[in-house]
Structure 1
Amino acid sequence: MPNPVIQQMLERRSIRNFSGAPVSDKDLQIILSAAQQAPTSVNGEQISLIVTRDKDTIRKIAQIAGGQPQVASAEVFITILIDFNRTANAVAMAGEKQLIDQCAEGLIVGAVDAGIMLQALQMAAGSLGYGTTAIGGIRNNPQALIELFGLPPRTFPLLGTTLGVADPDKLPRIKPRVPLESFALNERYDNDKVSAGIRDYDVTLRHWWDAQGQFDMPSYIQSTTNYYKVDYFPTVGEALKRQGFGLIDIKS
């Protein structure tokens, strides 16, 4: 039998229907404190959170994210920010000027740390019995979120997570994944295994949707194609520029 942590990870699912039961202040503080222990690159702590409990504001976030009911019905919404404003202040205290927010490496660092933070928040929440869903849809209109939160330059709302008590009558099934052998590749990248895994997973996911009566949901190949043949959030780059971010390599 897996230990409780592994079991929780194996049973992870995105919760899109909440019961309306409250998230206690004590539990929320535990979740935030536990997540804050997540690692950040060079211990720069270039991540900040905006924790939203006001229902009117959560509904505004839902609209910014494209009108998502799963966001609007959450008891808490946590926005994960890349925060090079904090580090810029630290560098200024040393009498120097920060450059990392102008570099491609800076954006990668911020994105990696934001992803780690998302996992930490969701694991902590799940351990206390709460449901969550990762929301990348806030990048549908990042400028609106920047203005809603009054974000300073060198910060950017990368993604967020809902938080609430799952509706026990509407729990989704655990979604399957690509075959392990096409995901965890031994020693070298194997495109044949990756391609075979795509074909297998396309069939598996089709059966998974059909078993739930969701016959109109696209297969893996079609869903991925629908998203990745276009730039589905085409204002992200401009919003990053307005926030002062660059995407260059600076040679010392």
Structure 2
Amino acid sequence: MNETINIIKQHRSIRQYLDKDISEELVDEILKSAQAMPNSINGQQTSVIVVRDKEKKKKLSEVTGNQVYVDKAPVFLVFVMDFYKTNIGAEKYDRKQIIHESVEGTAAGVFDAGIAMGAAIIAAESLGLSVVPIGGIRRSPEEVIEILELPEFTYPVCGLVLGYAENNSKQKPRLPFETFKHVDKYHKETLKADIDSYDEYMEKYLKEIGREQEGNWSNLTSSLYQTVYYPKVKETMEKQGFKNDK
């Protein structure tokens, strides 16, 4: 396969970084790659906040759950669902924008941000950088909104740490390919057996890396998915204008 595919397939999240800066030129190349990605109706409802300020990075590391690598790495990117921009276009023509009040708008906005982040990850890794996505950006969203001075109709979707790896982590095994690829219909016939097999494999892997307390994939995901583990998302989305009632 080609080098791009090899880079993608070697992806791993890195949580230990060197004290080494990243040039603005590299950051811009990564963001231009992200901006080039497809998006719903060419609405371009994604923005990225580049955080280098040490005080802001420290605050963000705390509100995301004391994730110290947010603070330690030189650059932290925050991917923002951004219907503030599109609303400016609506006001130009004296139209009332309502897409941000709908579930469809949220789905499109979040998905577009995800596509952009995927491209940013591939671009960064192709340039010799390492990354770790930070879903914890939604842990205390009101504080993130305040720190980044986000206007109405915007919402922080996910963060991405950028830096030079201090050392490589092991690559986390994925579920069997057959659970990911479904041909012509959703195939549920072999799912339980495939998941059982994966759980056995993950128990060995987690023991090897000293995280046996997680048990396996089914144990970890089901323990987390018993609750909404970022419960402030709904109320803060509503405050930002995302009613999700249409």
Mark yes or no: TM-score above 0.5: yes
TM class by smaller structure: over 0.9
**Distance in structure 2 (CA, Å) of the matches to 1:196 and 1:189:** 16
**Distance in structure 1 (CA, Å) of the matches to 2:70 and 2:140:** 15
Task: Please say if 1:217 is aligned against 2:214.
Answer: yes
**Distance in structure 1 (CA, Å) of the matches to 2:132 and 2:53:** 18
What residue is the counterpart of 2:112 in the other structure? 113
Deviation (angstroms), 1:107 = 0.5
Residue deviations 1:89-123 (CA, integer Å, cap 9, x gap):
11111221111011110000011011111101111
**Distance in structure 1 (CA, Å) of the matches to 2:210 and 2:152:** 46
What residue is the counterpart of 1:12 in the other structure? 11
Task: Please say if 1:178 is aligned against 2:205.
Answer: no
Matches within 5 A, 1:179-194: 179-194=176-191
**Distance in structure 1 (CA, Å) of the matches to 2:84 and 2:176:** 41
Contact 1:178 1:200 in 2 (8 A): no
**Distance in structure 2 (CA, Å) of the matches to 1:134 and 1:219:** 21
SS at match of 2:212: coil
SS at match of 2:131: coil
Matches within 5 A, 1:234-245: 234-245=231-242
Deviation (angstroms), 1:216 = 2.7
- Return the letter of the residue paired with 2:219: Q
What residue is the counterpart of 1:53 in the other structure? 52
Matches within 5 A, 1:12-91: 12-91=11-90
Unaligned runs of 5+ in 2: none
**Distance in structure 2 (CA, Å) of the matches to 1:17 and 1:54:** 19
**Distance in structure 1 (CA, Å) of the matches to 2:205 and 2:146:** 40
Contact 1:155 1:243 in 2 (8 A): yes
Residue deviations 1:17-37 (CA, integer Å, cap 9, x gap):
101111112211111112110
Unaligned runs of 5+ in 1: none
Deviation (angstroms), 1:164 = 0.2
SS at match of 1:192: coil
Deviation (angstroms), 1:193 = 2.4
- Return the letter of the residue paired with 1:38: M
**Distance in structure 1 (CA, Å) of the matches to 2:215 and 2:136:** 19
Greater Cα shift, 130-139 or 204-213? 204-213
What residue is the counterpart of 2:166 in the other structure? 167
Q: Percent identity?
A: 35
Q: Aligned residues, how many?
A: 246
- Return the letter of the residue paired with 1:62: S
What is the Cα-based RMSD across aligned positions, in Å?
A: 1.1
- Return the letter of the residue paired with 2:169: P
Matches within 5 A, 1:130-141: 130-141=129-140
Task: Please say if 1:205 is aligned against 2:238.
Answer: no
SS at match of 1:134: strand
TM-score, scaled to structure 2: 0.97
